[in-house]
Amino acid sequence: MTTMTEASVREFKMPDVGEGLTEAEILKWFVQPGDTVTDGQVVCEVETAKAAVELPIPYDGVVRALHFPEGTTVDVGTSIIAVDLAGGTPVEAAPAAPAAPAEEPKPEGSGRTPVLVGYGVAASSTKRRPRKGPEVPVQAASAAIQSELNGHGAAPAPAAPEVPAPAAASAPAPASALDRPLAKPPVRKLAKDLGVDLATVIPSGPEGIITREDVHAAVALPKAPEPVTSTPAAAPVPTPMTTYDTARETRIPVKGVRKATAAAMVGSAFTAPHVTEFVTIDVTRTMKLVEELKQDKEMEGLRVNPLLLIAKALLVAIRRNPDVNASWDEANQEIVRKHYVNLGIAAATPRGLIVPNIKDAHDKTLPQLAQELGELVTTAREGKTSPAAMQGGTVTITNVGVFGVDTGTPILNPGESAILAVGAIKLQPWVHKGKVKPRQVTTLALSFDHRLVDGELGSKVLADTAAILEQPKRLITWA
């Protein structure tokens, strides 16, 4: 049988694939015990609170064990796979330990005597704490104890030779004799009048009798805790289990990206004071520009859509109103103004909503911005967005129009100052040059943190974004 040597086995632990993440769920294993792996080979896919990530193994060797099945959430730093660097055959289970030989009966006086079930009583009598009360012969007490043991199925122990009881020690009295403390009727009445429990009084009289002085002494002492009664407390009524119709209801555990999103949105909604403003605009000229850009050779192979020009319009509006690009430092009670724009784009994925961002989007040309947007969306849909891509955002765009929704009141991404919701672009009647004509119309909604952005600043950002989309030539004149 081949076994692993400790020196040749390496345990690969769950790494921190994000910034301070504490756990990840194992989505899929790509290897099984016995498979050969090489340094850099992807062995599993895990989902953190931010994205799905593939984990490469840093060793060459043979997989010896997968410590967790798929679907298990594992803490960062916990070993998830064992690799034998020396190779070899898979590890076999250790054989069961041989049964211990039956213990030979010991002679009398050498300890406990083995019996059929467990062990009998010791050959020598057990010492017990002496209690005051009427003396009971030792032999009678021993017989009572032996009888009780026999009643519970234990084999009788060898009879011990009779030994005279010491004069100073007394055997335990029967329970009925110990239940009632020894005291004369006048002493009992005194205890009752003073509210003293005789069971808590230390007797000083002959043969354990409680005296009047003992009762008065008990009054002067702190009250002893109530003795535990043998009567069991009433069992609490169990709370009925919540049931539901399994045929018509499905319960989905909240974890991973969806759990993190829920926690972040609750924290944002109840931390940052939200204000949302709306504007409905004619974007017919922007839609024409989109069609023209699709035919431009400079944009060939790039993703060109209304979101591209909306993103560019928001970036120009931020350049004209830089104070909107900030964050709130609660610990230091400071406003942190950002001189860069990491533009977040909310993306719906099978695992939930994520918001990766384009780093330094303010410096990107239109073709560069189109390329970044295309890669961002593709990566998000494939579930390959890295945690780093979702860190450090400053403002966000969420395009609810792709679902046919006119607009909404978006919740800020935690740590950001503003989020722009873009509604569906629809052909609607619109007054254009004094006449009602069918025009491409949409509604924008801008939510912002009122600690950072007051109504005037928020209105200017939204109005500038709208103005650019109504007249896209402002991308040139305002740039």
CATH number of the domain encompassing residue 193: 4.10.320.10
Q: Is there a single domain that holds both residue 319 and residue 446?
A: yes
- 406 contacts 428 by C-beta, under 8 angstroms: no
Residue 46, strand partner residues: 26, 53
| 55, 84, 113 - which closes a domain | 84
Q: Is there a single domain that holds both residue 208 and residue 264?
A: no
- Note the Cα 209 to chain centre separation in Å: 62
Catalytic residue status for 450: yes
Dist CA 43 CA 40 (whole Å): 9
Residues 6+ apart with CB under 8 A from 260: 49, 50
The answer to the question of residue 115 being in a domain is no
Question: CATH number, domain at 40?
Answer: 2.40.50.100
Q: Is there a single domain that holds both residue 338 and residue 277?
A: yes
The answer to the question of residue 386 being in a domain is yes
- 447 contacts 419 by C-beta, under 8 angstroms: yes
pLDDT score of 230: 54
Question: CATH number, domain at 345?
Answer: 3.30.559.10
Q: Is there a single domain that holds both residue 291 and residue 367?
A: yes
The answer to the question of residue 450 being in a domain is yes
Q: Is there a single domain that holds both residue 336 and residue 397?
A: yes
Q: Is there a single domain that holds both residue 298 and residue 436?
A: yes
Q: Is there a single domain that holds both residue 197 and residue 279?
A: no
- 326 contacts 338 by C-beta, under 8 angstroms: yes
The answer to the question of residue 468 being in a domain is yes
Which secondary-structure segment (H or E) carries 469? helix 455-470
**Backbone torsion region of residue 419, taken as left when φ is above 0, otherwise alpha when ψ lies between -120 and 50, otherwise beta:** beta
pLDDT score of 399: 93
The answer to the question of residue 167 being in a domain is no
State the catalytic residue, choosing from 152, 274, 432, 450.
450
Mean pLDDT by 10 residues, the chain (479 residues): 62 76 84 91 81 84 92 88 76 40 45 41 44 46 46 45 44 48 78 81 82 79 53 59 70 67 67 88 97 93 94 97 92 91 89 87 95 91 82 93 92 91 96 95 95 93 97 92
Q: Is there a single domain that holds both residue 304 and residue 211?
A: no
The answer to the question of residue 397 being in a domain is yes
pLDDT score of 93: 36
| 68, 84, 100 - which closes a domain | 84
- 346 contacts 328 by C-beta, under 8 angstroms: no
Q: Is there a single domain that holds both residue 185 and residue 52?
A: no
Dist CA 49 CA 257 (whole Å): 4
Would you call 188 helix, strand, or coil by DSSP?
helix
Q: Is there a single domain that holds both residue 326 and residue 428?
A: yes
Question: How many structural domains is the chain composed of?
Answer: 3
pLDDT score of 2: 43
The answer to the question of residue 121 being in a domain is no
| Bridging pattern class, strands 343-345 and 79-84 | unpaired
Residue type, 466: A
**Which of 413, 435, 417, 439 is CA-nearest to residue 426?**
439
Q: Is there a single domain that holds both residue 324 and residue 265?
A: yes
Q: Is there a single domain that holds both residue 197 and residue 345?
A: no
pLDDT score of 154: 43
Structural domain containing residue 59 = 6-84
| 84, 114, 144 - which closes a domain | 84
The answer to the question of residue 19 being in a domain is yes
Dihedral over Cα of 264, 269, 270, 274: its sign:
positive
Burial of 69-82, coded b for 16+ CB within 10 Å and e otherwise, reads eeeeebebeeebbb
